[in-house]
Structure 1
Amino acid sequence: MNATIRMNVVATIMRVILGVIFTMHGLDKLQMGLGNTAGWFESIGLPGTLAYVVALIELLGGIAMIVGLLTRFVSIGYAAIMIGAIVTVKLPGGLIGPNGYELDLALLALAIYFIFAEHIGYGVDQLLFRKKSTQE
């Protein structure tokens, strides 16, 4: 197996895991009720409508990430969400602990990887946007 194929396999695994995590977070917001989530956002000083945007990016973006569709664009949304979560909620809890931001930081790192990476794995993006000279 050549290096490009190995990198695409690893990137696919990372992308699917990232997509599953965000999909589950989006589903969690739906199950709690978007109105409740909006109320919580307002309680920490954020606009309640932002809860709907975040839930949409997490849920639909998660599904898109799993199938490898618009990976870079979804990753920009993920990075914004993670930066927002760290700065507005998690930072006072410290890096490690029950309210720590270590997971948020790891998810941010993965999102940044997919914004800039040469290899984003196998998926719809590769089928739609593959360069003609790269036939793998």
Structure 2
Amino acid sequence: MSSPRVTRIVWPLFRIVIGLLFTCHGLSSLFGFFGGKGGTGESVPVGTWPGWYAALIQLVCGLLVLVGLFTRPAAILASGSMAYAYFVVHQPHGLMPIQNGGVTPALYSWTFLLIAVLGPGAWSLDELITTRRSSPPAVREPEHV
């Protein structure tokens, strides 16, 4: 049994951490940050399929999920890209993720699917935009001179 108050705090923190970690994968692959490709400090050559495009998706979708902007579409794209990575890159080397090195893409795929289904939660730009759109405009009193 979960408390709505705890969920309101933990869910956005979960989304933020997952977005940050995914962003770091993109930065690592695109720019060699954090050790780059395979810890060598190298980046993926621009335009190479599928690595460069996957890294771009990781960077952009990770940032969007991190700040909670267009969260659901970004999470769907991230989930799909990780499912592709699992089935195309990892599964040919073994059935189970623990055998084929695909634990990380499998976890990311399901995690982003969960974020897409449940939405961004509190502390997101999506929530801020929705709140501002749904609240009536403030009525300002005329200033007397």
Q: TM-score range by the shorter chain?
A: 0.7 to 0.9
CA-atom RMSD, angstroms? 2.5
| TM score, norm. by length of structure 2 | 0.70
Say which structure, 1 or 2, has more relative contact order (CA 8 Å, 6+ apart): 1
Identical columns (%)? 25
Amino acid at match of 2:78: Y
> Does the 8 Å CA contact 2:64/2:70 hold for their aligned counterparts?
yes
User: Where is the helix percentage greater, Structure 1 or Structure 2?
Assistant: 1
Q: How does 1:1-136 map to 2 (within 5 A)?
A: 3-30=3-30, 31=32, 32-35=42-45, 38=48, 48=49, 50-91=50-91, 92-93=93-94, 94-97=96-99, 99-117=100-118, 120-130=121-131, 132=134
- Distance apart, 1:13 and its partner CA: 1.4
- Distance apart, 1:118 and its partner CA: 5.3
Write the distance in 1 (CA, Å) between the matches of 2:46 and 2:85. Answer: 17
| TM score, norm. by length of structure 1 | 0.74
For the pair shown, the structure with the greater C-alpha radius of gyration is: 2
- For structure 2, list consecutive stretches of 5 or more residues without a partner in the other structure: 33-41, 136-145
Amino acid at match of 1:83: A
